[in-house]
Amino acid sequence: MADYLVTAGITFCSLLVVDKLSKNVNFNGIGSIIFLALILTLLQNTVQPILMFLGAPITVLTLGLFTFIINGVVLSLAFSMTSGAHIKTFGSAVFLSIVISFLNSLFTGLFLK
């Protein structure tokens, strides 16, 4: 449970940065960012591994590029489950999933090492 909350906290920090840098996402308040971080972390731990398994043949054929699409789907799903958060297009979701993954890696290296 503690690992889940730490991961959600790091995702929250990444979403704060994305909120400030991107015009393609809108949040109604800090509560919606917190809720989105919790939902996104939950989906990344449950739904994403299933999608990765089911999409493994396509991922192999595209040399791993299909992983970006799966990450975009998970991010879009998390945004659709959060009432106070909105993302403009699916392309924005794919791009922002790359940015969020990079920021999560950066913050994990800064805070947990």
66-108 residue pLDDT tens: 999 999 999 999 999 999 999 999 999 999 999 999 999 999 9
Exposed, middle or buried by CB within 10 Å (0-12, 13-18, 19+), for 61? exposed
pLDDT at residue 18 greater than cutoff 90: yes
- Work out whether the CA dihedral 47, 76, 70, 19 comes out positive or negative: negative
Residue 41 has pLDDT above 80, yes or no: yes
The pTM score is 0.92
Give the CA count within 13 Å in the CB-facing half-sphere of 27: 19
Say if residue 113's pLDDT is above 80. Answer: no
Q: Are 86 and 26 in contact (CB under 8 A)?
A: yes
Res. 64: pLDDT tops 90: yes
User: Tokens at residue 24, please?
Assistant: 């393609």
- How many residues are recorded in the chain? 113
Over range 7-13, report the average pLDDT: 94
